[in-house]
Amino acid sequence: MKKKQMMRQLGRFGLILLIAAIGLGGNTGCKSKKKLAREQAAAEYAARVEQATRDLTSILNDQTDWTLDQKETRFNTIKSWNLQDEEVLRLLDLVEDKLARERAEAERKAEEERLRRVEDERQRAEAARYAPIENHFIAVAGAPDFNSSNERIAQALQLFATPDVPVLIIISQAGGFNDYDRPTTIRKYLDYLKDQKAYSNRIEQVKYDANGKIIELELIKK
């Protein structure tokens, strides 16, 4: 009887030990998983710090072939990581300032290019508008002989109110101001084309009277 009781007690004691061992093993397993997760997170953080430092330094030193848009995208991605590394934070400030300057310069160049295209379009439109007048000048300069030149001068003068209509020739432009050559008249200018046999200007501006005749002509050297 006593032997059976002793066996039952030993059985209970063994069961308790088994439960305790299982519990201890479970806690150890949880602690190992947490430690592993912390180590993994630390490794990922360190890798991002390294990558961020490398990319930001490359952008800062112009060591990439990225476009400005690509550099800005990469910068914003790194910034979104919210890394609290002192070197990364320092590089973020420097790169942000650099990209802001590059963007301002890109916008300035884009505006200059837009204005250039607008001016080119204006000149093309004016060239088309003034083509009939310039064709007369080209014809005078290209006339094969004296009589032909005089005939073409007479035809050209029909476009003007009088042979004494002033002709102004711009020789330079700066700061919104024009510098003009010595004033002349349309008759003298046409004679000049006849002698030089070359038309090297283009029409900048024309003024007309109520009858559609030219009363002032402004040219600019090509």
Q: What is the pLDDT of residues 122-168, one digit of tens each?
A: 878 877 889 999 999 999 999 999 999 999 999 999 999 999 999 99
For 16-35, how does the pLDDT look when each residue is reduced to its tens digit (9 = 90+)? 555 555 554 555 556 688 88
Q: What's the token pair of residue 49?
A: 């710090």
Mean pLDDT of 172-199: 92
For the chain, the domains span 67-222
Percent of the chain clearing pLDDT 90 (strictly above): 73
Handedness of CA 156, 157, 163, 167 (dihedral sign): negative
Provide the β-strand partners of residue 211: none
**Res 10: pLDDT:** 45
What does the pLDDT look like over 34-47, one tens digit per residue?
888 888 988 999 99
Q: In this structure, what are the phi and psi dihedrals at residue 160, rounded to the nearest 5 degrees?
A: -110, 150
Query: For the chain, what is the largest distance between any 2 Cα atoms, rounded to a whole number of angstroms?
Result: 153
Residues 6+ apart with CB under 8 A from 79: 92
Q: Rounded mean pLDDT of 191-201?
A: 95
